[in-house]
């Protein structure tokens, strides 16, 4: 650009005006600001952020790693999951007992621990970033305070640092005992050790919290691995076969932090086969362990519980045991997951 003498004069005349504007600008100290002022006008409102989430996937731009984990998780698929839709279709009052937790309004607005409210729109997003993190002002709550992105306000939240009560909003409703894992967790060995839901279902990872930060911090993966994770199922139980005089003891120990299986539709099947020295099968049975059982010995295992199943066994017989996991009553046997095996 060619700089002329006329341009230089115009620029010189603007300098006093700019200085005057700066001197007349009043800055309010942070400690004199009202509480609400931290949310406006510097940050976008709740409506703005909600719109940007649904239309622009804005969370993905600053938190790409977390977004990738969430969009592959069952939280993201909570509403559209065909297994859920099939099961919920058989519940008469699903809009009151089932759907509110599969497409909820933000729980920081409806209340932590309170039964969520079903969203009227955008249900396909299931349990999204908005559901767990946003408040009525548009501020995002989490366990770490992020670098100020000038997009949303950040609130460091103890409820997110130790999220058991947050999780209980959907996973601990007394009115829906079939899907209540948190009540059994509260009296578990895991809880006594100071663990919480995230300890197992949101593994710790060290990384940047967002693209606006330079330091790496210890955060949590947004995967929520559970009953559809083979590795998680294998780590949930210990199976041991003990042979004594004239019998075999099949010993199951619940290593999960809550009831096992974790909810009413799930079941574990203990498969036992006893053969003689020639390989002929003398006994072959399946024991169903689930919430539907009316017998304590085949009901769900309490956290930390050890349960014995005893079988007569001669010196020449062999026992083979396998524990398998069935996701729903209609899951074909070919899709049952092997949790543990043992023999004697």
Q: What is the pLDDT of residues 200-228, one digit of tens each?
A: 999 999 999 888 888 899 999 999 999 99
68 and 113 fall within a common domain: yes
129 and 270 fall within a common domain: no
101: confidence class by pLDDT, cuts 50, 70, 90: very high
The first and second tokens of residue 105, run together, are: 């309004």
State the CB neighbour count (10 A cutoff) for residue 138: 19
More confident residue, 128 or 151: 128
252 and 311 fall within a common domain: yes
The first and second tokens of residue 153, run together, are: 């306000």
Task: Judge whether 73 lies within some domain.
Answer: yes
Task: Judge whether 5 lies within some domain.
Answer: no
Q: Domain span at residue 331?
A: 230-343
Closest CA to 240 of 321, 301, 315, 337: 321
Q: Domain holding 291: CATH number?
A: 2.60.40.10
87 and 117 fall within a common domain: yes
215 and 250 fall within a common domain: no
More confident residue, 175 or 214: 175
Task: Judge whether 126 lies within some domain.
Answer: yes
261 and 139 fall within a common domain: no
Q: Please state the separation of Cα 229 from the chain's center in Å.
A: 13
CA–CA gap between residue 286 and residue 322 (Å, rounded): 10
103 and 64 fall within a common domain: yes
pLDDT at residue 306 in the model = 98
Number of domains in the chain: 2
pLDDT at residue 38 in the model = 47
234 and 300 fall within a common domain: yes
Task: Judge whether 12 lies within some domain.
Answer: no
Average the pLDDT over 244-251 and give the result: 96
Average the pLDDT over 45-61 and give the result: 91
Task: Judge whether 88 lies within some domain.
Answer: yes
Q: Is the pLDDT of residue 140 over 60?
A: yes
Task: Judge whether 27 lies within some domain.
Answer: no
pLDDT at residue 10 in the model = 55
* CA diameter of the chain: 110
Task: Judge whether 296 lies within some domain.
Answer: yes
Q: Is the pLDDT of residue 37 over 80?
A: no
Task: Judge whether 179 lies within some domain.
Answer: no
Among the residue ranges 31-45, 145-159, 178-192, 301-315, the one predicted with the least confidence is 31-45
SS3 of 22, please? helix
Contact between 274 and 311 under an 8 Å Cβ cutoff? The reply is: yes
Contact between 216 and 318 under an 8 Å Cβ cutoff? The reply is: no
DSSP code of 68? H
215 and 88 fall within a common domain: yes
137 and 112 fall within a common domain: yes
Q: Is the pLDDT of residue 20 over 70?
A: no
What percent of the chain stands above pLDDT 70? 87
pLDDT at residue 212 in the model = 85
131 and 238 fall within a common domain: no
């Amino acid at each position: 650009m060619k700089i002329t003498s006329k341009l230089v004069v115009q620029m010189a005349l603007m300098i006093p005006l700019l200085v005057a504007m700066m001197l007349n600008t009043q800055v309010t100290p942070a400690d004199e600001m009202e509480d609400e002022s931290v949310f406006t006008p510097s940050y976008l409102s709740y409506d703005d952020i909600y719109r940007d989430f649904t239309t622009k996937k804005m969370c993905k731009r600053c938190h790409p790693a977390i977004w990738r984990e969430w969009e592959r998780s069952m939280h993201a698929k909570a509403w559209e999951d065909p297994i859920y839709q099939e099961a919920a279709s058989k519940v008469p009052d699903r809009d009151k007992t089932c759907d509110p937790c599969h497409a909820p309004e933000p729980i920081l607005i409806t209340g932590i621990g309170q039964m969520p409210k079903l969203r009227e729109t955008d249900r396909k997003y299931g349990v999204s970033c908005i559901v767990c993190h946003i408040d009525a002002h548009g501020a995002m709550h989490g366990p770490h305070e992020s670098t100020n992105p000038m997009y949303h306000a950040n609130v460091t939240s103890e409820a997110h640092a130790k999220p058991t009560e947050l999780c209980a909003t959907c996973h601990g409703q007394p009115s829906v005992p079939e899907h209540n894992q948190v009540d059994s967790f509260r009296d578990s060995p895991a809880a006594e050790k100071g663990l919480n839901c995230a300890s197992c279902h949101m593994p710790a990872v060290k990384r940047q919290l967002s693209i606006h930060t330079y330091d790496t911090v210890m955060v949590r993966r947004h995967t929520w691995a559970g009953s559809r994770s083979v590795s998680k199922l294998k780590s949930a139980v210990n199976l041991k076969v003990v042979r004594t005089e004239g019998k075999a003891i099949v010993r199951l120990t619940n290593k999960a932090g809550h009831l096992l299986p974790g909810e009413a539709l799930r079941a574990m099947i203990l498969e036992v086969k006893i053969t003689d020295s020639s390989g002929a099968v003398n006994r072959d049975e399946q024991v169903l362990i689930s919430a539907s059982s009316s017998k304590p010995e085949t009901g769900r295992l309490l956290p930390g519980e050890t349960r014995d199943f005893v079988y007569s066994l001669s010196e020449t017989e062999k026992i083979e045991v396998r524990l398998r996991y069935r996701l729903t009553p209609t899951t074909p046997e070919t899709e049952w997951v092997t949790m543990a095996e043992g023999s004697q």
